[in-house]
Amino acid sequence: ATRGLTRRGGGTRPTRAFHTRVGSVTKTFTGTLILQLVDEGKLRLDETIDRWFPTFPNASGITVYQLGTMASGIASYTLDAAVASRYFASPTSPWTPMQLIDAAAGLPSVFAPGNGFQYSNSNFVMLGQIVERITGQSFAAALRQRILRPLGLDDTSYPSGTAVPSRTLHGYTTQGSANGDVVDATRWSPTFASSAGQMISTLDDLRVWTRAVGRGALLKAATQR
């Protein structure tokens, strides 16, 4: 169902075909790409991440599995005050994945790998880079080839710019506001979330995707389990 209007104080009544930024739902796509590569024998979940990030702190003690289960102990780059301040000061400016990963590398570990749980965007930005380095494709290209096209998710995308489709639900936040003002964040750069949260989709596409994830449509049965 849909309710309300597409933006505060006006807009139009949305339908299920309207687009919206889907934020951390992106992580389910990233995780599926990683598991597809496992199915293809191109990586193992128990591999340590020094294969791709040799200079990252404690990389030889952190596994791909720990990235995917938020058990790596790597702090979220969003906790870096300087990074957050820069983002909120210029929210439409682009970021590269390595800028985000480097910010995470500069923060102290939250716990020893495998000895806790903390939700951290850094983990899934790193998984996205692993996808790129193994496939030799951009994350967007791998996503299109391996998931979006096979499932016919024609209204789902991984945009690098701030533009949104003409029929888009607006999103709002008080983050970064010193006085608590609500601001329209619809055209903020999604690159600050990278493969942890950069995607746009529709309710209808996400219905297809949710069923595919739940049923393991793109994975071997053992990998899905």
Q: Which residues are catalytic?
A: 24
Residues 123/53, Cβ–Cβ less than 8 Å = no
Residues 100/3, Cβ–Cβ less than 8 Å = no
Between strands 183-184 and 172-173, the pairing is antiparallel
In 40-158, which residue ranges form alpha helices assigned H by DSSP? Answer: 64-68, 81-89, 97-105, 121-135, 139-143, 149-151
Report residue 162 as tokens.
Answer: 């701030």
CA distances from 35 to 183, 217, 221 (A): 37, 12, 11
The rounded distance, in Å, linking the Cα atoms of 204 and 101 is 33
